[in-house]
Chain A
Amino acid sequence: MVDALTRSMRASHILVAILVVASLIFAVIGVANGDTFYLRLGTEALIFAGLALSVDILLGYTGLLSLGQALYFGLGAYVSALVLMVTPSFWAATGAALGVAMVVGAVGGFIANRVRGVYFALITFGMAQVAAKVVYNTRALGASDGLIGVPIIQINFGFAAISSASPAGFFLFTLAFIVILYAFAAYLLDTPFGRLLIALKANERRVPFLGYDTVTPRLLAYMIAAVIAALSGALYPMLRGFVSPELLFFSTSGNAVITVVTGGVGTLVGALYGGILLTLLKSVVGSYTEHHLVVIGVLFMGAVIFLPRGLMGIVRPAIERMLARRMKS
């Protein structure tokens, strides 16, 4: 017997499958046209979609608005860049980003989870600001210039290798990577542990009376989100060959929240579609006007007013109904 929450998650899977197929077609067209620009833009979109995914785990499933998720994204990017400059190994870079994100996420989560609501948002914002300032002022991290000259790497699977410089190859690799992060999050959120997070969002005060501690699950959710943000960030220097303090700025955190809200809060897949939409918009609008932030801001306001449940808030229920009918018959 599949319940409504599992059915919604399955509807998200279908939408992710559609996205994957569209991405494959996009890659084929890109390769056929010898394109580099759009494939690399698509790769960047997917990387920021990974960051948005981590925001949705907190906002859409645990009821926590993080305004500082860039902290972990930037952390992952810098750790990855530093490791790659020493040893050009994908596994070492992502492994290090994962480890550091777990530790920093545990500390950050411990601090931020002492408060709720708007105070949680402000603390996450504050922690990211502090981290950004520290990076900005640290010579060893390139200060305001960031770290440049991250080498091109071969991502080695033993049986095959993908170069981070291959537009289509690295696009497809990033697609697989982000889909795995999605699958991991989607799996966790449909377990009793994940349902406990949903319960915390729905009515935190009742949860202790069901026999559950509320501190640990909230901390775990925060750490999982930190890890997903950091792993996404770890791909950034592989794509761009550099990292800069802007990755930790509020604009990065804020964009991730906008991405989730436009895509559909509490759907996971909304973060992916939203991430692609926003990156595309920024690029297209940015080629016409320098004031692309104004356009994005206006579009965001429009989305909140006219599509309060986001893009997926409209599309996904239709798929859920289809699944419900299919299960009955």
Chain B
Amino acid sequence: MTAPVLEVRGLSVSFGGLRAIDNVSFAVARNRVTTVIGPNGAGKSTLFNLISGAVPAAGGKVLIDGTDHTGHTPNHLQAAGLARSFQITNLFFELTVAENLRLAAQILEPMRMALRPVTASRVALARVDELLERFDLTEKRAMPVSKLSHGEQRRLEVAVALAGKPKILLLDEPTQGMSHGDTADTAHLIKSLASDVTVLLIEHDIGLVMSLSDTVIVMHQGRKLAEGTPEAVRGNPDVQSAYFGHA
């Protein structure tokens, strides 16, 4: 049996007295979409922060392809093939759309290109064009990110995370604040990613979660409440009382 592409074991962290993540374990299957759901403050983003090295974990392990990457910094995790996007758009706002992507794609170039003119980075520049096309941002390529609409910024947030060709992509509420049309487009895009990337997604839109996910993980008060197929999770009585219940 091959190791799961991403596995977390007993992850924990506390902020003050609050156990924001409490002994969470799960494994993520390769080239599938696994979605983390849960009410506001359940600890979903904190879970991503621990996995991506943004916040050091107090306990537990993070394994990528069976190798221990616990406590590694975000840049080392990126090198191991793990990239993430942010719930609150986190881009280079004063730089252009294309430059944001180029910065993220530059990692595909060998080190020796670092001291050549940027125009010589053909691999990175080709990747930029490809992503602009795929995320429908070609016409905005020369625009500063600060001038984009909210929906466009959210799309770029995902594109930047994807630019370095990660094998594991963590997306924190990519559709947050998007219009219905944009949300549907983004869902379609995420689905298409899963042919060659393992996606771990945080999403609030239940319809989208049901249609998109292979596996759903339910978080509640820092704990993993349930894990299973969308149907199984929807039918779980604990989940219904904790999450769907109050609807």
Contact = CB atoms under 8 A, between A and B. Distances in A.
A212 B163 CA distance: 14
B92 A199 contact: yes
Given A191-B118, A192-B106, A209-B78, A4 B92 contact: no
Contacts of A213: 73, 75
A6 B119 contact: yes
Interface string B85-100: 0000011111110110
A203 B114 contact: no
Contacts of B92: 199, 202-203, 206
A202 B53 CA distance: 21
Nearest to B160: A210
A202 B94 contact: yes
A210 B90 contact: no
B96 A191 contact: no
Contact of A203 (B75, B84, B93, B163): B93
A190 interface: yes
A206 B119 contact: no
Contact of A191 (B53, B103, B114): B114
B106 A208 contact: no
A159 B52 CA distance: 59
A206 B90 contact: yes
B114 to A, nearest CB: 5
A205 interface: yes
Given A3-B142, A199-B95, A205 B115 contact: no
Contacts of B83: 209
A29 B90 CA distance: 54
What bracket does the count of chain B residues touching chain A fall in? 35 or more
A46 to B, nearest CB: 27
A15 interface: no
Q: Which of A191, A206, A210 has the most CB of B within 10 A?
A: A210
Contacts of A190: 117-118
Task: Pick from A192, A196, A208, A213 the residue with the most CB of B within 10 Å.
Answer: A192
B130 interface: no
Contacts of A203: 90-93
B61 interface: no
B105 to A, nearest CB: 9
B103 A195 contact: yes
B184 interface: no
Nearest to B115: A191
Interface in B142-193: 142, 160-161, 163-164
B3 interface: no
Interface in B62-90: 73-75, 78-79, 83-84, 90
B115 A195 contact: no
Interface in B91-132: 91-96, 98-99, 102-104, 106-107, 109, 113-119, 121, 124-125
A3 B99 CA distance: 8
15 contacts: A3-B99, A3-B102, A3-B142, A6-B119, A192-B114, A192-B116, A195-B99, A195-B103, A202-B93, A203-B91, A203-B93, A209-B52, A209-B90, A210-B78, A210-B107
Q: What 10 pairs between A and B have smallest CB-CB spacing?
A: A211-B78, A208-B74, A202-B92, A211-B107, A208-B75, A193-B114, A192-B106, A192-B114, A210-B104, A209-B74
Given A2-B119, A4-B99, 19 more contacts: A1-B119, A3-B98, A3-B99, A187-B117, A188-B115, A191-B115, A192-B114, A192-B116, A195-B99, A195-B103, A196-B103, A196-B106, A199-B103, A205-B90, A210-B103, A210-B163, A211-B75, A211-B107, A211-B164
